[in-house]
Structure 1
Amino acid sequence: MRISSNFDSGNIKVISAEQPHDIQLEINKDNNSDFFQWFHFRLESTPFVEHKLHINKLAESAYPEGWDDYQAVASYDRQTWFRVPTTYQDGQLVIDFEPEYSHTFFAYFAPYSYERHLDLLYRAQSHDACQIETLGQTIDGRDISLLVVGEPSDAKKKVWITARQHPGETMAEWFVEGLLEKLLDDEDPHAAALLSKTVFYIVPNMNPDGSVRGHLRTNANGVNLNREWQTPSVENSPEVYYVLEKMRAVGLDMYLDIHGDEALPYNFVAGSEGIPSYDARLASLENQFKDALLTITPDFQDVYGYPKDEPGQANLTVASCAVGEEFKALSYTIEMPFKDNADLPDPHFGWSDRRSYQFGQDTLAAIVKVVDNLR
């Protein structure tokens, strides 16, 4: 029996693995950080034998409440990820599983590999409407890549989308893949309507270093990028520094920052009610966008989410608040679950890569409803 995580986004520490029914594991912390929650590893063992994998010390993890009612995902081919029987009690997650093949992959959510990220960039580049720009390099020397979709013009609205500031929230890049595929479809009416009046600036992965390293929440330096938007630096948070620099250079009329939430089993948005410049115009735009999403997809709801900030109490180190305040623009954080969508549960797959992909396409359609009112 062998357990390995020596691959892209791998993360696990083997404490003992001598008997299939008593495999003891822990999750490594993000580099220079106390955050940990993301796991991704491969089990090599005998098929059709019951295995019990115990992941320990989770009461100390970043979001202990995220383990309640959570089911891990597994895959034999790294393409289809399905939920497996999982229980959580007293800081220990137990995966109870009988593999059908000798090699099984387990993860916190369906991984989105760095190779797939590169494939997404260069597949998008093959479309006449899309160009890639390299804004700078990460701490580990990877490209900070921006996709510009549409013919730039001062007359056109500028919509910015960023994903995976928190690298373990892989559903965010699945979301962007779905949105991009729809946006670059020459026969899609929503795409045609938008590109006639809008340019999209999309960063599919804000944190490629953390993604490859198997981090939950931070970059290679152990910095939480979504707390860097007030004073980013090339030394600690080049990913935010270069993206914000580009935003200021080209302008911004709408911003969506795509995330995943460990605890809440719903899709929801978090607005910028607490920023100093929040007014009736921004409130109207937020409501228009939410109403459009509610009409387009039953996978979205507006009952459960984060508490709204009191006026003037927004955290301006957070991307959606900082950007909303600086550009006086519609600015939302979009959150998806690691667990399942409690409104439309799926016992086999839970909330999944495929549903994240579809939610990205639905969100693009919702932008059509607000784009004319952004200025």
Structure 2
Amino acid sequence: MNCHPCSAEEYDGLEFESRFESGNLAKAVMITQTYYELHLRSDLYTSRSKQWFYFRVRRTRKNVIYRFSIVNLVKSDSLYNDGMRPLMYSTISAKQINEGWRRCGTNIAYYRNDDDTPSEEEDENSSYTLTFNIEFKHDNDTVYFAHSYPYTYSDLQDYLMTIQKDPVKSKFCKLRLLCRSLAGNNVYYLTVTAPVADEEAMRKKKAIVVSARVHPSETPASWMMKGLMDFITGDTLAAKRLRHRFIFKLIPMLNPDGVIVGNTRNSLTGKDLNRQYRTVIRETYPSIWYTKAMVKRLIDEYKVVLYCDMHAHSRKHNIFVYGCENKRSPEKKLTEQVFPLMLHKNVADKFSFESCKFKVQRSKEGTGRIVVWMLGITNSYTIEASFGGSSLGSRKGTHFHTADYEHMGKAFCETLLDYGDDTPNKVKRMTRHMKQIKRIRKREKREKKALKLKKMAEQGCIIAEKLEVKRTGKSVS
């Protein structure tokens, strides 16, 4: 991508490119030899949804400080304002020292562009800039930059083919086609369970449904899914027990079209697929329609104990879940919070129970989590992994790596094993967990009430001060 109005022979600046899988740079403009303005392509058939970035740079010079500004982002806030750094991958460093993706950039800032709207109020048409300095280690290197660790459709296909060709794993893993996307790409699902002698024994098993990548840019979801698949297809005793007890239905990439073209949020319809679970239009949203049909069929044939859709979050640290509170069923009250609490105890340095929310909001009624919950599955979750990192324990202030996301997938499985424990001690443990949840929620209510009273008091002081100024004409010191 020649980003300067001169011939290719005369141009001696950096060379930008993103015409590869999941890339989405639309334009690069050289302001000076070391300063470049970058414009992202919006999601196809939309004018918005620009947050994911993935592009390549060539013709680098070492020991030179460059500045990149991505000038047309759309989110009003970002973890880049709270310590998060972009990612880069040097092909020379990869060959010489086996270095993979690493965090990069100094003098990082994320801010609203001044020329969008004259008022201070946020406008839906506002755009934002991410800007950072970068210094390359090598001359004439080929370097990739990304918002998060890439995981492409090709990566998934390679992974699934490896499982299918494995003579051991293929005995308890069955790869099937769920449907084809609008662009004709295969949407796969994986069934993982230990084979049994007869149909009656199979029907006694409980079912687990896990999906990921409905939003193309949320690559941490794929790394969590990979960790889950690695564990559940592994040779450990825990994995064998899980396969013996459960039937896993895994849909690792719901939106392959969006992933391939480098979209941030939408499919090729220009719509957010995670708002279409109430749809009856099979032809427009095939992966969503067939996923919902699969869940309904599983409910008819087995007891579905948990559904989870994997996502990533751009404004919060840690990993947490959104669930659905069971207000109308007294016997089920707070039960949806037990699994997340157990997950927190297993990975307390990454997973935050206090960040978990269980409100059923009208604006989210088309999401997989709420629609599946309305089908009767109490434990219906969206798990959100931060693009940034952790603010908990020994990991406080650190970025997440792919290994952390994969470990979360493993911990998810280990927690399932604990949660599905059928021993007599389970009732005692459940009672203990419920009591702890009640204590946590009571404390949160007290803290919210105290904060509300504090704000009211502050507002009262401000009003009193204004009245005094109006009465006396003098400011109150």
2:342 corresponds to = 292
Q: 2:143 matched to 1:104?
A: yes
What amino acid is the match of 2:104? V
Q: What's the offset of the Cα at 1:180?
A: 0.8
| 1:311-369, Cα deviation, whole Å (9 max, x unpaired) | x858321111110110333111100001121222465xx12222111111111101112
Q: What's the offset of the Cα at 1:4?
A: 0.4
Q: What's the offset of the Cα at 1:277?
A: 5.9
Counterpart selection for 2:313 from 250, 261, 278? 261
Counterpart selection for 1:114 from 150, 153, 162? 153
Give the 3 Å change call, closer, same or farther, for CA 210–277 of structure 1 in structure 2: farther
Which ranges in structure 2 are unaligned for 5 or more consecutive residues?
1-13, 113-127, 196-201, 427-477
Looking at structure 2, the residues matched to 107 and 199 of structure 1 have their Cα atoms a distance apart, in angstroms, of: 36
Looking at structure 1, the residues matched to 377 and 229 of structure 2 have their Cα atoms a distance apart, in angstroms, of: 26
Q: 2:207 matched to 1:192?
A: no
8 Å contact 1:161–1:257 — kept in the other structure? yes
| 1:236-276, Cα deviation, whole Å (9 max, x unpaired) | 21110111112222333310110001100121111112x78
Q: 2:374 matched to 1:309?
A: no
8 Å contact 1:265–1:340 — kept in the other structure? yes
8 Å contact 2:189–2:251 — kept in the other structure? yes
Runs of 4+ displaced beyond 3 Å: 62-67, 275-280, 312-315
Whichever structure has more helix as a proportion of its residues is 2
Looking at structure 1, the residues matched to 356 and 343 of structure 2 have their Cα atoms a distance apart, in angstroms, of: 15
Q: What's the offset of the Cα at 1:63?
A: 5.2
Give the 3 Å change call, closer, same or farther, for CA 15–283 of structure 1 in structure 2: same
Counterpart selection for 1:21 from 21, 34, 41? 34
Q: TM-score, normalised by structure 2?
A: 0.72
2:278 corresponds to = 230
Q: What's the offset of the Cα at 1:292?
A: 1.7
What amino acid is the match of 2:103? R
Give the 3 Å change call, closer, same or farther, for CA 63–124 of structure 1 in structure 2: farther
Q: What's the offset of the Cα at 1:232?
A: 4.6
Looking at structure 1, the residues matched to 49 and 322 of structure 2 have their Cα atoms a distance apart, in angstroms, of: 22
Looking at structure 2, the residues matched to 65 and 369 of structure 1 have their Cα atoms a distance apart, in angstroms, of: 35
Q: What's the offset of the Cα at 1:144?
A: 1.0
8 Å contact 1:182–1:361 — kept in the other structure? yes
Counterpart selection for 1:83 from 80, 100, 103? 103
* % identity of equivalent residues: 24
Q: 2:54 matched to 1:40?
A: yes
Which ranges in structure 1 are unaligned for 5 or more consecutive residues?
none
Looking at structure 1, the residues matched to 238 and 77 of structure 2 have their Cα atoms a distance apart, in angstroms, of: 40
Greater CA drift, 321-330 or 176-185: 321-330
Q: TM-score, normalised by structure 1?
A: 0.91
What amino acid is the match of 1:109? S
Looking at structure 2, the residues matched to 6 and 169 of structure 1 have their Cα atoms a distance apart, in angstroms, of: 20
Specify the structure having the higher radius of gyration (Cα): 2
What amino acid is the match of 1:119? D
Counterpart selection for 2:132 from 81, 92, 95? 95
What amino acid is the match of 1:258? M
SS state at 1:355 partner: helix
Q: 2:86 matched to 1:72?
A: yes
Q: 2:374 matched to 1:325?
A: yes
Aligned length: 365
Q: Within 5 A, what are the aligned runs for 1:348-363? A: 350-363=399-412
Greater CA drift, 113-122 or 195-204: 113-122
RMSD: 2.2
Structure with the bigger RCO (C-alpha within 8 Å, sep 6+) is 1
